[in-house]
Structure 1
Amino acid sequence: MDRGDDSDRTGAASPAEGYLGKFAWTMGTFVASAGLKFGLNIVLAWLLAPSVLGVMVVVNAIRLGIELLSDVGIEQNIVHHPDGLDRRFRDIAWTLQLLRGVMLTGIFLAAAPLLGPAYGIDTRIFLLAALSPAIGGAHSTAIFVLVKQLEVRRRNLFELTCEAAAFAVQVGLALWLRSVWAPAIGLVLAVAIRSALSYTLPDAGQRWRLERTTVLRIVHFGKWIAITSLATYAASNLDRLYLGQVVPLALLGIYGVARAIAEVPTTLAGRMGYQIVFPALAGVAPLDRPQALARIGHIRALFVWSVCAGLAAVAAGADLVIRAIYDPRYAEAGWILSVLLGGAVFAVLSNLNGALLLSAGRPFFASIANLLRLGTLAVLLPLGYRVGGFPGAVAAIALTELCQYGYVAIGLHRVRLHFWRQDLLAAGMAAGVFAVLLALRWELALGSPLGGMR
């Protein structure tokens, strides 16, 4: 268990208090992490042109897609499998991870000459970004051991340290270069920093090892993880890839600013789900599952209610926030952020619920839900753009998150795991907060957060 938590040291705290401490640590370090990313977002927006950020929106979307090719869920395997702490199992998993990273770098390098002309981006940017899968694949599996052992404090402090180092490097490059090469080089260095620092964790050493039986076990469990990862990636990045073809790169850069902010709560929910809910329930016997769910449920309720209400509050004043913080060139990000945060309410709930499916050993349902999400976005995004232009496309992206919640809910019904009442109350609270603040803005003659839509 998490030896970094005081409740675990004394042994006197109840399981619910232990989960509360883990949620608090995850929330606290994530807030610091989000602050770094938000700060970097602001600095880059002031130092670099919107078109430069638009280039990186496309490059990052393609990089993530290539990195998710052949994903066999190394982390999920280590967390879920009884032998996940075994040195031999970890070495085999690390070897597969490294081989996969090298292979994906090769694919990326081969695709770069085609990607550059397709998006009107310097091919050398793609060639540089192609190094990241191999570098990232070299990190130690000690990171995943922290998740399995529910060492929430140490895992989150590790990630925060990596992000702080990457922040310093990327800001320094932006101040020095003032061009697209600053975020491009910073991207690769950030991956390298995380891989290097992973070897400072306990028991981080790795050695080359392959064993057919274990490889097949990893691949067998990971086959649905691979489908889920690809579907999740495609659904999360199809907007960037599609819009990169139909709107100017400058507008895509503005959209990228809003999208980065809107993804913060969704990422937090994913971290809560996969670092706490998933490992806490993965080894629980079916008969003990109701008690385990009840212990987590109280903490989950506080989290989803506060986050969803907060999302609604920010959505109601998104345009004011953007104008106060960002360069005037990015003012249009205000209404975009307001719309995306509406969808983020359901994305937060979906991410938490997806971890329940994985903890039940049913990644199949999560995979199907993500494939349905991808299909929904593939239909609604071009339809929204055709009917309503760029605003119609943004609305389609938010609507897809509501559909995704429904798809995940079907899987939860099948495995008899759910938090229906919590989710319904969270959505209701979000709608109420947004309506009240919208009425207040109207009374104060502050207009609408969607006023800049065009």
Structure 2
Amino acid sequence: MIDRMRTLAFGSGLMTRAFRSSAINAGGYAGFQFLRLLSNLVLTRILFPEAFGIMALISVIMVGLSMFSDVGTSPAIMRSPRGDEAEFLNTAWTIQIIRGFCLWLAACALAYPVALIYEEPMLMQLLPVAALSLLIAGFNPTKLESANRHMQAGRVTLIELAVQVTGLIIAITAAWALQSVWALVISGLAAALTHLVLLNRFLPGPRNHLRWEKEAAHELILFGKWVFLSTICGFFVAQGDKLLIGKYLSLEAFGVYNIGYFLASFPLLMGGMVIQKVLVPIYRDSPPAASRENFLTLRRMRMAATGLLVSLLLIVAALGPWMVDLLYDPRYAAAGAVVTLLACMQIPMVVTLTYDRAALASGDSRDFFYLSLVRAVVLLLMLALGLSYWGLIGAILGIGLAALLTYPAVVWLARRQGAWDPLHDIAYTGLGLGVSAMLLVLHWETIQTISG
């Protein structure tokens, strides 16, 4: 037993490193979310619900800008045979800086029309300042991607937790002093600066320099053109609910919805983060199509990961209304119903979470784009129909229905990579949907309170 624990802690094998990296990333993410929860609990008592609605809109725009301009430098570094070469890394860093400046200029240009669309004049001032964090992030060293490439998660996790603590302290201090949404903007900028400084100071590896190597740029751009299109679709998958629901609800109600979204999405977001950092290197080094042994090894990992995430979603769904009543004041009571309904609707998304990473690991960013496009179109259609006929409940139900309708596209991609595992999918989808149905019946009276 002691020898086994020593191997897991210090071993250098692929599966051992994967387990260790998964544990560190999951633990770090849990700590990160705990700090976010602590921040929410304090800030919801200092600020007003509209502040969180405004900040959610700003976050949607900034995430959209980031995803609409993603040229795939991070996954390219993780999968490329040249991912450890200085010329390749410096070219990627140069592209990243150029992108950061373009993002900030785009945010400045969008501030006025966004303020008109959402009828909130403060966005004209807040968005350009908040978007400075995107400019700052452009200077983050490629040592971060190199650490992820080799599944060296320890220092990265500690740095991210330190950044979150810094942002939390500054947000609470500024909120108490200013009593304004500006506190959230200021804390975001402080966190971005702290992240940049700590990455440069504490991650091992050579410093980046401005460089443009033609061959490296060609590889990055060739791989990145499909990632760019995929992330545009990914933006609508990840933020489509906020775009449409944010227009449908008042800012106060939208702030309440985002509190519920934060609590309900913890398992899904954690799973996505761990899978991105761990499974891409594993798929790269042990592709499931290469041998039956690789497939069975990945099946065991998928079974364990999906089982954990489905269990977490069902626990969150069961306890949602009680968690909100315990943690928040009565102004946020409706968030409990959002937690239950949204957590249940994310079950089909969690079940298929691992498949698309096989395409990225093999360098097949084109097929990954096709899947992302199908997901985006179906999700937006289901959200729009749900809002039109059944309001907020219909929109959230549409999220789950969209995941089920896009399953054939997921199977198509998974089979091309030799990764499809119908036993895994049937078992967890049946279990998740069966328990979800019971939980929805249990909490249906509460859920009906968000029908408007």
CA distance in 2, matches of 1:253, 1:410: 38
**Matching of residue 327 in structure 1 with residue 326 in structure 2:** no
- Find the aligned partners of 1:434 and 1:381 in 2 and give their Cα distance: 20
Q: Which residue of 2 aligns with 1:234?
A: 236
Alpha-carbon separation, structure 2, partners of 1:296 and 1:380: 32
Q: 2:354 is paired with a residue of what secondary structure?
A: helix
1:184 matched residue in structure 2: 185
Question: In structure 1, how many angstroms separate the alpha carbons of the residues matched to 2:234 and 2:218?
Answer: 24
1:320-341 C-alpha deviation (Å, 9 max, x unpaired) = 2111111111111111111111
Deviation at 1:45?
2.1
Equivalent in the alignment of 2:93: 94
Question: Take 2:23 and 2:198, find their aligned partners in 1: how far apart are those partners?
Answer: 24
Which whole-Å CA distance do the structure 1 matches of 2:311 and 2:368 have between them? 26
Aligned residue-pair number: 444
Counterpart of 1:250? 252
Deviation at 1:204, TM superposition (A): 4.8
Instruction: Give the secondary-structure state (helix, strand or coil) at the position aligned to 2:346.
Output: helix
Task: Give the percent of matched residue pairs that are identical in Structure 1 and Structure 2.
Answer: 25
Larger CA deviation: 299-308 vs 250-259? 299-308
Structure 1 position 251, deviation (Å): 0.8
Greater shift in the superposed pair: 397-406 or 220-229: 397-406
Equivalent residues in 2 for 1:39-438 (5 A)? 39-121=38-120, 122=122, 123-200=124-201, 201-284=203-286, 288-434=290-436
Task: Compute the displacement of 1:303 (Å).
Answer: 2.1
Q: What is the deviation of 1:448?
A: 4.7
Name the amino acid aligned to 2:194: I
Cα 1:75–1:14, aligned 2, differ >3 Å: closer, same or farther? closer
Q: Is the 8 A contact 1:244 1:252 kept in 2?
A: yes
Q: Note the alpha carbon deviations across 1:333-358, whole angstroms, 9 max, x for none.
A: 11111111112222223332221222
Classify 1:344/1:63 alpha carbon distance in 2 versus 1 (closer, same or farther; 3 Å).
same
1:231 positional shift: 0.7
CA 1:118–1:361 in structure 2 vs 1: closer, same or farther (change >3 Å)? same
Q: Which residue of 2 aligns with 1:453?
A: 450
> Structure 1 pair 435/400, CA: closer, same or farther in 2 (3 Å)?
closer
In 2, Cα distance between equivalents of 1:92 and 1:14: 31
Pick closer, same or farther for the CA change 1:88–1:450 going to 2, 3 Å: same
Q: Which range moved further: 118-127 or 138-147?
A: 118-127
Tell me the alpha carbon deviations over residues 6-29 of structure 1, each in whole angstroms, 9 at most, x when there is no partner.
637854x76544433332222222
The residue matched to 2:360 in structure 1 has which SS?
helix
**2:39 aligned with 1:7:** no
Write the distance in 1 (CA, Å) between the matches of 2:400 and 2:26: 24
1:298 aligns to what SS in structure 2?
Answer: helix
> CA offset at residue 306 of structure 1?
2.3
Q: Which amino acid aligns with 1:452?
A: T
Alpha-carbon spacing, 1:98–1:383, altered in 2? closer, same or farther (3 Å) = same
Mapped to 1, the partners of 2:181 and 2:448 lie a distance apart of: 31
Q: Could you tell me how far apart the structure 2 residues matched to 1:337 and 1:423 are? A: 24
Say if 1:92 and 1:210, in contact at 8 Å, map to a contact too: yes
Equivalent-residue separation in structure 2 for 1:405 and 1:262 (angstroms): 22
Contact 2:348 2:404 in 1 (8 A): yes
Indicate if the aligned counterparts of 1:108 and 1:127 stay in contact, CA closer than 8 A: yes
CA distance in 1 between partners of 2:288 and 2:307 (Å)? 28
Q: Which moved more, 1:50-59 or 1:293-302?
A: 293-302
* Aligned-partner residue type, residue 31 of structure 1: A
Where does the alignment leave 5 or more consecutive residues of structure 2 unmatched? none
Deviation at 1:436, TM superposition (A): 5.8
Structure 1 window deviating more from structure 2 (282-291 vs 43-52): it is: 282-291
Residues 430-439 or 241-250, more deviating: 430-439
After superposition, give the CA deviation of every residue in 1:428-452 in whole Å (9 maximum; x if it has no partner). 332344456678x5xxxx8755253
Displacement after TM superposition at 1:184 (Å)? 1.7
Q: 1:447 & 1:230 partners in 2: Cα distance?
A: 35
Task: Report the 3-state secondary structure (helix = DSSP H, G, I; strand = E; otherwise coil) of the residue aligned with 2:342.
Answer: helix
Which stretch shifts more, 33-42 or 133-142? 33-42
Paired residue type of 1:50: P
Cα distance, 1:379 vs. partner?
1.6
- Is the 2:321–2:336 contact (alpha carbons within 8 Å) kept by the matching residues of 1? yes
Distance 1:78 1:438 in 2: 43
TM-score of the aligned structures, taking structure 1 as reference length? 0.91
SS at match of 1:452: helix
Instruction: Report the AA paired with residue 325 of structure 2.
Output: R
The answer to whether the 8 Å contact 2:223/2:363 transfers is: no
Deviation at 1:409, TM superposition (A): 2.3
- C-alpha spacing 1:278/1:183, structure 2 compared with 1 (3 Å): same
Distance in 1, Cα, partners of 2:385 & 2:9? 55
Q: CA deviation at 1:288?
A: 4.2
How far did residue 277 of structure 1 move? 0.8
Question: CA offsets, 1:96-139, max 9 Å, x none?
Answer: 00011101111111221222222122110112122122111110
* Alignment-mate amino acid for residue 387 of structure 2: Y
Matched residue SS, 1:53: helix
- 1:235-261 CA distances to partner (integer Å, 9 max, x unpaired)? 211221222222211111111111122
**Residue identity in the other structure for 2:359:** L
Alpha-carbon distance between aligned partners in 2 of 1:369 and 1:321, rounded to the nearest angstrom: 35
**What secondary structure does 1:68 align onto?**
helix
- Letter of the 1:314 counterpart: V
Alpha carbons 1:373, 1:404 under 8 Å: kept: yes
Contact 2:141 2:208 in 1 (8 A): yes
Q: What do residues 39-70 of structure 1 show as CA deviations (whole Å, max 9, x unaligned)?
A: 22222222221111111111100011112233
RMSD of aligned residue pairs (Cα, Å)? 2.3
Q: Which letter maps to 2:314?
A: A
* Residues 62, 382 of structure 1: alpha-carbon distance in 2 compared, 3 angstrom cutoff: same
Partners of 1:395 and 1:42 lie apart in 2 by 27
Q: What is the rounded CA distance, in whole Å, between the counterparts of 2:37 and 2:445 in structure 1? A: 24
How far apart are 1:318 and its partner, in Å?
Answer: 1.3
Deviation at 1:422, TM superposition (A): 2.0
State the AA in 2 paired with 1:453: I
Does the C-alpha gap of structure 1 residues 405 and 186 become closer, same or farther in structure 2, counting only changes over 3 Å? farther
Tell me which amino acid in the other structure corresponds to 1:421. Answer: L
Q: Alpha carbons of 1:292 and 1:18: their partners in 2 closer, same or farther (altered >3 Å)?
A: farther
SS at match of 1:305: helix
For the residue of structure 1 that corresponds to 2:69, the secondary structure is coil
